[in-house]
Amino acid sequence: MEIEYIMQLTDKPKVLYIGQYSEGTTSKQRADTIKSLLDTDVFRIIDLHEPFYRTSRVWRSIGFRYKKGPLIPAVNTFIRNKVQEPYDLIWVDKGIYITAATTAFLRAHTKKLVHFTPDPAFTFHKSRLFYQSLKFYDYVITTKSYELERYFDYLEEEQVLFVTQGFDPNLHQPDFSNFDEKEGLLFIGHYE
């Protein structure tokens, strides 16, 4: 799926972004980039950090680890209450808490339903809710080549898009201060 295709949906598409929209998150960076690339009439955001942080720490932890507990209905109710109209595109970022029923609800409110995650959905961030929802997406986008075959268990190959990790040149810049004093190499994160 290319941005140009989305832009052809309508002269000025109505877009809904669902994901974490807190300052400093890569999901917020993605939402802001999508908005800047598309000439939209409407660009709405459902910030999933709102119901997340309204849930107690204990239940957030259980929800994150096991995808169970009060966090799950809180997130899904929050989404359903916010979606009032149809959209040309609904973009779901890291939809690990979204149930199949809510995903079907989103599917009924859009021409194109897209899911994106930079995380390993099958290897580390396992979510039965996500697996049950996959069939409702028009496209899923992953940055993990080693998980492509798992996606193909749920979707046709043309529905699964592999992209490389990106970077923001405004944010990711080398720090040359005291560079001569530094030694060694440090890597933080996953290898892909």
Task: Give 125-180 pLDDT, tens digit per residue.
Answer: 889 999 999 999 999 999 999 999 999 999 999 999 999 987 777 777 776 676 66
Residue 121: inside a domain: yes
158 assigned to some structural domain = yes
Q: Please tell me the total count of domains within the chain.
A: 1
Question: Per-residue pLDDT for 8 more than 60?
Answer: no
pTM of this structure: 0.86
Q: What residues make up the domain containing 165?
A: 3-181
**Bridge-partner residues for 16, per DSSP?**
44, 90
* Residue at 173 is within a domain: yes
Bigger pLDDT: 75 or 24?
75
CATH code for the domain of 96: 3.40.50.2000
Does some domain include residue 80? yes
Q: Is 50 within a domain?
A: yes
pLDDT for 55-111, tens place per residue? 999 999 999 999 999 999 999 999 999 999 999 999 999 999 999 999 999 999 999
CA distance 168 to 29: 8
Task: Give a yes or no: residue 93 inside a domain.
Answer: yes
Question: Does the pLDDT of residue 5 top 60, yes or no?
Answer: no
In a domain, 96, yes or no: yes
CA 91 to chain centroid: 7
Residue 189 lies in a domain: no
